[in-house]
Each structure stands twice: as C-alpha cells, then as structure tokens.
Amino acid sequence: MKHWGRVKNTLDTKGRVSLPPRFREDRVNKYVLNRGLDGCLYLYTPEQYEKTLEKIQNLPGSKKNVRFFMREWTRYATDVQLDKQNRILIAKELLELVNLKRDVIFQGANDRIEIWDPDTQEQYIRRFQEEQALTFEDIAEIFD
C-alpha cells in the first residue's frame, strides 16, 4: 500500500497513539516501527520492512559502513501490534530518540508512514529549504 497525507494525533501518558484510519491496512494489525532518517520514526507492514532488509542484504557486507548501517537499521526495529482501540505502543527509547512528547504527526511517505514530532518536522523542512535553496517547483521537476 502507498501512503500519503498528514494527520496529527496525540500520545497518551503510556506512549500509545492511535494509528489514523487512512494509514491502517485491511487485515493488518502488526507493524514494524523503526528509527527513521531526519529525526522521525518509520512504520512499516512486516512485508514492507522485509523488503528493506532484502535491499540491505544485497549490499556488500565486506564494507564497514554497510555493516554499521545494517546493525543500526535493525537495532531499533520493533514489532508493534494494534490494540482494540487501534493504538500502537511506542517504546520509551524510540520516543526519546525522536523527541516525541505529546503531539505526533503521521506523514505518508509512499511505502511507509513517518511519525514526527511537529516541531522537529517543521525545523527539518525549514532547514532543508534553507540549506538546499530548493523550492517546490525544483523538486516537482521529477515529474517532467
């Protein structure tokens, strides 16, 4: 399934957050939550996550940076299951890693769902636009 859009939600005091209906997949109640890039978490179906592992498996294991990335990529990966209220539990370690406190942004990102702290996401977008001096038109050129 491909994901797009953005939904704001709230963590409860135990670190649980409801997965928005637009991001739920039929007959899927188990997901893989992992450290993402750029300061967010990635949420995959098990099948989607396994595809990332297959890509990594095909990288040259003799290279030190590949081995490091492989370890880091699997280090934080956690199976999470939807409860009866369609919530996932985010481990404290992951909450702290990406600075999630109360508000949470679910951001569709094609084959995965990204989970962001709203302030971190805004800072990332602002910093990227400043550093890269890119506009939406520059990025949209990929469709030409």
pLDDT at 131 over 90: no
The mean per-residue pLDDT over the stretch 15-37 comes to 93
| 77-126: pLDDT as tens digits | 999 999 999 999 999 999 999 999 999 999 999 889 999 999 999 999 88
Q: What is the pTM of this model?
A: 0.86
Architecture of domain 6-136: 3-Layer(aba) Sandwich (3.40)
Give a three-class secondary structure readout of the chain: CCECCEEEEECCCCCEEECCHHHCCCCCCEEEEEECCCCCEEEECHHHHHHHHHHHHCCCCCCHHHHHHHHHHHHCCEEEECCCCCEEECCHHHHHHCCCCCEEEEEEEECEEEEECHHHHHHHHHHHHHHHCCCHHHHHHHHC
Q: Where are the domains of the chain?
A: 6-136
